[in-house]
Homo-oligomer: A and B are copies of this chain.
Amino acid sequence: MGRGKIEIKKIENTTNRQVTFSKRRAGLFKKARELSILCAADVAVIVFNSTGRLFDFASSSMKRILERYRSACGGHDWNNEHEQMLCQFRNLRKENEDLHREIRYVMGEDADSLSPKQLDYLEGNLEIAAKKVRERKTEVLKYERRKTESKVNGLEQKCILLKQWLATAENLEEYDQTPPPTFRVQPSQPNLQSAGY
């Protein structure tokens, strides 16, 4: 339809492409409009040209047509999804506030607003908690003591060995040939000095 038939493939000449785009876009929108009127159809056309500019046509409200499209075919119903998430969000936030309050409560910072009964209950809970903590502390301290003791024992053993070696060495006067018994403290870092830096 024009002076000559054209092949349907990308028009490489930019100016030509722009012109054709304008003409055909107008034609497309006109056809869309006619279809919507003649056949009582709801029509939406969205076009981005090669430079990314947007052109659109809608026989009624674009928003409504797109909503309808979304609910009709596949895609997410974002509005609904958004609502649901907002709901969950609010719940979570409320739970959060409650937790903050509870922490204030158990730390006795809201004591002024509590009834005697609640105060008793809270006091009981705090005592239970403190007892747990004390018990655990005792346990930990005991464990630490045991660890220290065994360390001391180990060191004592090493001292004894060292003394024995010294005695032997003095007797034989062979300091440089009998190595001391091996024991060492585990280095917490690689020994850089002996690595040649």
Contacts and interface: CB of A to CB of B under 8 A. Distances in A.
Interface stretch (A77-85, A148-156, A159-167, A181-189): A77-85
A10 interface: yes
A24 B38 contact: yes
A47 B38 contact: no
Contact of A39 (B11, B95, B108): B11
Q: Main SS of chain A's interface residues? A: helix
Nearest to A111: B136
Given A96-B95, A120-B137, A140-B116, A56 B41 contact: no
A39 B17 contact: yes
Contacts of A99: 96, 99-100, 103
Contacts of A134: 123
Interface string A120-137: 101101111111111111
Interface residues of A, number: 88
A31 B3 CA distance: 18
A106 B108 contact: no
A177 to B, nearest CB: 48
A127 to B, nearest CB: 7
19 contacts: A8-B33, A20-B39, A21-B39, A39-B49, A44-B46, A46-B66, A63-B74, A66-B69, A92-B92, A92-B93, A96-B96, A103-B106, A106-B107, A108-B132, A111-B136, A116-B137, A116-B140, A119-B136, A123-B134
